[in-house]
Structure 1
Amino acid sequence: MAGEKILVVEDERVVARDIEKRLKNLGYQVPASVASGEAALIKVAELQPDLVLMDIQLRGALDGIATAEQIRADFDIPVIYLTAFADEDTLQRAKASEPFGYIVKPFDEKDLHVTIEVAFRRRLAEAAIRVALEKEKELSELKSRFWSMIIHEFRNPLTSILSSAQLLELHGHRLSDDRKQEYLGLIQNSVRAINQLMNDTLTIVQTEKSDLEFNPASLDLEAFCRDLVEEIQFNVQSNHRIIFTLRGNCDDYCLDRKLLWHILTNLLSNAVKYSPLGGEIYLNLICTEQEVVFQVRDKGIGIPSETQTHLFEPFHRATNVGNIPGTGLGLTLVRKCLDLHSGHIEVESEVGQGSTFTVRFYSACAISQRH
């Protein structure tokens, strides 16, 4: 691994020059050589070397071991000790400081090279282990957040179902028909919310296990969209209106029906959810010889710009959602389903003005059939 920067800390000038020469012969860079622990700390901060060769016996307030401990604590740079002799107490101190190597003077060039290369390999191995441990920790935390969020999101609709059922049971004979229908509607919407959450959770788990199947087949996209809009419109409040528009001939394209349902259902449901005052939601379908484009547009609360780059990360939600319920899993699922299609998604949004999600697919079988 020639070319790395090595700082030499040696208070015998003749010895220091010999070490510098040997290191350069081996192909390493020696940006500086210093004679004290205090000077070593200054040079390490200034040069950020890849490794330090440290004489244990140094003149001054800091010996080599104390200096090495400070370097390891402040900069996490590996240190190899150089020494001609040392008593038992010094050796024990040196071991406790966890050096990356130990060279007894006098030494030959081969020993120096091997010790340095072993130190560099050890540093790479430790770095890889740290990365693996951090990823494992992040995965563990993510799983914990996942199940905590899922349990929380299941609890809300279940509470609504239980409360409504109890009210109907205890006070149904005194309730008006309109109030009974209100409670029944709340139960139905809660069941649909649970069903949607179960579907999203199952699909995300399948994608993580690579079990999610991708089965593209010829679709009449106009009929598919009209059926989907009718289904969602039936489930949403009356103050939201979903408007479907079509451009081009969209009756024969190859997409996976199930994955497309997940994508558009999540985008349309979000458009409704984050338009709390109601209004119009637009689903635009555009079909050309080159691509299929789905565009979902709303005039809701919008998404802050600093949040948009993290939208498709699990459990990430915009900072302005307030008390609007949600898990942050919907757009993660959208991205995973799009990846299976090799599709793309673009987001345009402004706080208070609404959001537009544009999904693009390339449908090779549709194009080949038309030619």
Structure 2
Amino acid sequence: MPVREGLLRTVYRPFRRRTKPGSVPGTIQHDPTLPPTVCDIVAFGSDGIEERREATLNDIQELSDRFAVCWVNVVGLGTADMIKKIGEFHKIHPLALEDVVNTHQQAKVEEYEGQLFIVVRMAKLEPRLWTEQVSLLVGKKFVVTFQEQAGDCFDTVRQRIRKGTGRIRSRGSDYLAYMLIDAVLDDYFPVLERYGVDLDALEERLLSGQSHNVIPETHRLRSEILQLRRTIWPHRDAVNVLIRDEHPLIQTDTKTYLRDCYDHIAQLSDVADTYRDLGAGLRELQFSLDSQRTNEVMKVLTVIATIFMPLGFIAGVYGMNFDPDTSPWNMPELEWAYGYPFAITLMLGIAISLLMFFRHKGWLGNSNS
């Protein structure tokens, strides 16, 4: 099973705060490289639903007056004026808007004058890992979500609103906020599953002897999993704040569902820890296999060197240039008719004896002892 090459390169976006040091708190400094701001609305209640694409402030006002809950989904943070107007319409605190456009925030929950500001991070593999900040402003009759760019995991929520399944149309804005948070958290599970597939593929490559370039790939996968875990963990504290603290916007029944989100975060953290340990185990396995292969090579080379040591000694003795005519003690075996066959037989016998001895000791092949 091949490992997805794209996953082995992590996108580490540098920390960049848009507002300059010393700026007035609440200053909105947008990123001009982001897509222009587009506003979509899904307004609903127990008696119906209405959606509008590329809506205006007048559309927001009209639908907010007619329906019990108005979900305003703001896509793209490239138009500062539009973001300011939406913030002024919903009376969003300037500090919350500042955090909306500074997209390096971790998951958190803050309270502003009867509103809740919630930040979650959405994981994406396209094909490389990166996370996108999603900011939620929860009011009495509205939820405003801010996304950096188009594409999200909220289609299941939209479908449930359109079809009227479950309790979402009969509940308030707090339940809609729970559904959006739950959709973001649930989207982490397939991401982690794909990492599990990649780790299994790396293990298969290691055990099959295809260890080329496995160490860098294992290290990169483990780094991405660590990055993912660091993104998941702050959600635990954020959801815990929603469950623990009393707030008029969060109903008691909704807190029951939020506890399920808390359990999901714990599961995600456990899976990420498991995959991180698997990555470390694969790295240790690679080192062990490399060490084993090196030992096997060294053993073969040692056996060859050990066999050729006595053979080299015999050949060296026979290669000495002592004249037997000068003295009868100067290598008399050179004048023996069977001297050469004797030397060859002696060297062959020593080599065979050493091979049998090594095999008997288990140093070469299986031991018979």
TM-score relative to the length of structure 1? 0.26
User: Which structure is larger by alpha-carbon Rg, 1 or 2?
Assistant: 2
